[in-house]
Amino acid sequence: MNMKLAALVAAAFMIMSAAQADTLLVENVDETAASDARPSRGMTMVRVEGRYGAPRVKQAAVGHPPISRWDYGDYVVFFEYDRVLHSVEKPRLANN
């Protein structure tokens, strides 16, 4: 009986560890500041590029699920597959 329980616990642990995904951490995100100035969550890449123009830089997707990044002048857009996850303002540097 103990061997069956140990095997069941081990199998559950293996399944749980295999089901993990990469996590994208973005600091200082103010999701309440949504406006037309930046793409909104769920927009497609085609729609973003059509509405906001070509980004300055397109960074290739990494991880699983694939996360890609487009850099615009004042903000960055993160995509999962071809859909917007977040669009965040770039931090402003203080003048010293």
Each residue's pLDDT tens digit, 77-93: 999 999 999 999 998 87
Residue 74 placed within a domain? yes
Residue 75 placed within a domain? yes
- For 15-40, the pLDDT digits (tens) are 655 555 555 555 555 554 445 789 99
Residue 31 placed within a domain? yes
CB 78 within 8 A of CB 24: yes
Residue 17 placed within a domain? no
How far is Cα 21 from Cα 65, in angstroms, rounded to an integer?
7
CA dihedral 26, 30, 31, 35 (to 10 degrees): -120
How far is Cα 79 from Cα 85, in angstroms, rounded to an integer?
5
Residue 63 placed within a domain? yes
Counting the structural domains of the chain, the total is: 1
Residue 15 placed within a domain? no
Candidate from 20-24, 60-64, 65-69, 90-94 with smallest mean pLDDT:
20-24
Residue 75 structural domain: 24-96
